Amino acid sequence: MPIRAGPMNTLLLVLLPLLLALGTGLAGCSQGDDWKTLNDEAMSLYEQGHYDQAIVVAKKSLEVAEKAKGPDHPDVAQSLSLLAALHDAQAQYAEAEPLYKRSLAIREKALGQDHPDVAGSLNGLATLYHAQGQYAQAEPLYKRALAIAEKALGPDHPDVAKSLNNLAALYQRQGQYAQAELLYKRSLAIREKALGPDHPEVAKSLNNLGELYSSQGQYSQAEPLYKRALAIQEKALGPDHPYVATSLNNLAVLYGAQGRYGEVEPVCVRSLAIREKALGPDHPDVAQSTACLALLYGAQGRYAEAEPLCKRSLTIWEKALGPDHPDVAQSLENLAVLYRKTNRVEEAEVLEKRAAAIRAIKR
């Protein structure tokens, strides 16, 4: 049962808080207060899945930073990185790339080639290329960001673990599983040592390593990692945190891949309930959990229950990400499979053609 998440969600959830943490130069003046307020608001809107609104606010924060500090100040670079990441989240890669590049250029000039903030811009640009399958362009950027972090912060710093995670995810996407495993394990070891075995960042590493094993069909290795991650998150963050829902979703994928459908449903239902309550009914993560449940029902032949869930996830993704996002294409394909199973071939073909057109877009 192929339950698919948006491919870059994990990277962006790691990247955006890092972007917002970099730079505080405007604090202490009225315009600085405005800039910080706008950045905080943009991040809040992002977390709620309101990407279009977040972009409007992020653009305003950029205007305020440019007016207060000039076009080449590091605070401008921070606003550019945030705006780029928001476009990146919606697969608006043509809009995101020049913003990341300008942010990188500002930081290199203002802060020096080896400043940790430069690593942040490199990771952002690499994530953009990663999302588009431009792995040869992404890899040297990830490696440079990692080298900067190791030199500036030391080999055992948590920010080094984040860079290792990004590079590992790239190798995993390319099927270089042995290399990915080494980096994921090093990232996990750093986090356990620096933060303690029960820290939420440790849970992220456990989930990543579990997903690597799950993607190779090594379910017996993946399951205890997922369960440990879930236990850490429930204890550290509470049973209703969105990160708990992510771990539940990972378990659901694992169970579904093994045909353990009786175990999938309660996990999917709980994940969906957490996300609806914490994030609101129209967040992309809600669409992911809805799709998970729909695919389960489809695999069991419960088509009447699956169809409204498929349609709901499609509606959410179209609204949040735009009509031409790759996740929309995946949702259209899922619904087309359902239509074919229920002998609605013409309706399925319409959806398949639209999905193919989305996937043909050069990004």
Which of 323, 320, 271, 321 has the alpha carbon at shortest distance from 292? 271
* Contacts with 98 (C-beta within 8 Å, 6 or more apart), sequence order: none
Q: What are the start and end residues of each CATH 1.25.40.10 domain in the chain?
A: 1-153, 276-363
Q: Which two tokens stand for residue 20?
A: 């917002």
What is the tens place of the pLDDT at every residue in 204-257?
Answer: 999 999 999 999 999 999 999 999 999 999 999 999 999 999 999 999 999 999
> What percentage of residues in the chain have a pLDDT greater than 70?
91
Average pLDDT of the chain, as a whole number: 89
The Cα–Cα gap between 102 and 81 comes to: 9
Question: Range with the lowest mean pLDDT among 23-27, 57-61, 95-99, 222-226?
Answer: 23-27
Q: Give the model's pLDDT for residue 119.
A: 94
Give residue 353's pLDDT. Answer: 97
CATH of range 1-153; options 3.40.50.300, 1.25.40.10, 2.40.30.110, 3.40.30.10: 1.25.40.10
pLDDT tens-digit readout, 335-358: 999 999 999 999 999 999 999 999
> Which has more pLDDT, 324 or 350?
350
Report the C-alpha gap between 77 and 106 in whole angstroms.
Answer: 6
Question: Using alpha carbons only, what angle is made at residue 320 by residues 318 and 324, rounded to the nearest 5 degrees?
Answer: 45
Q: What was the pLDDT predicted at 28?
A: 41
For position 101, what pLDDT does the model report? 97
- pLDDT at residue 313 tops 90: yes
Distance CA 354, CA 348 (A): 10
Name the band, by pLDDT with cuts 50, 70 and 90, for residue 18.
low
Q: How confident is the model at residue 138 (pLDDT cuts 50, 70, 90)?
A: very high
Query: Is residue 47 predicted with pLDDT exceeding 80?
Result: no
User: Which residue's entry shows tokens 């315009």?
Assistant: 31
Return the pLDDT at 358.
93
Would you state the pLDDT for residue 162?
92
State the pLDDT at residue 32.
Answer: 62
pLDDT over 90 at 15, yes or no: no
Q: How confident is the model at residue 4 (pLDDT cuts 50, 70, 90)?
A: very low
Three-state secondary-structure class, residue 28: coil
**Position with higher pLDDT, 225 vs 25:** 225
Q: Percent of the chain at pLDDT above 90?
A: 76
Inform me whether the pLDDT recorded for 16 exceeds 60: no
Where is pLDDT greater, at 36 or 312?
A: 312
Res 1 pLDDT > 80: no
Q: Are 237 and 243 in contact (CB under 8 A)?
A: yes
pLDDT at 133 over 90: no
- 298 pLDDT more than 80: yes
* Cα 188 to Cα 190: distance, rounded to the nearest angstrom: 5
- Say if residue 5's pLDDT is above 50: no
Does the pTM exceed 0.85? no
Average pLDDT over residues 286-295: 94
Averaged pLDDT for residues 46-61: 88
Classify domain 276-363 at the CATH class level.
Answer: mainly alpha
User: Tokens in use for 150?
Assistant: 């190791």
Token pair of 223 as six digits: 């399951």
In this prediction, residue 125 carries a pLDDT of 96
Residue 135 has pLDDT above 60, yes or no: yes
Q: How many CA atoms lie within 13 A of 121 on its CB side?
A: 30
Q: Is 142 helix (H, G, I), strand (E, B) or coil?
A: helix
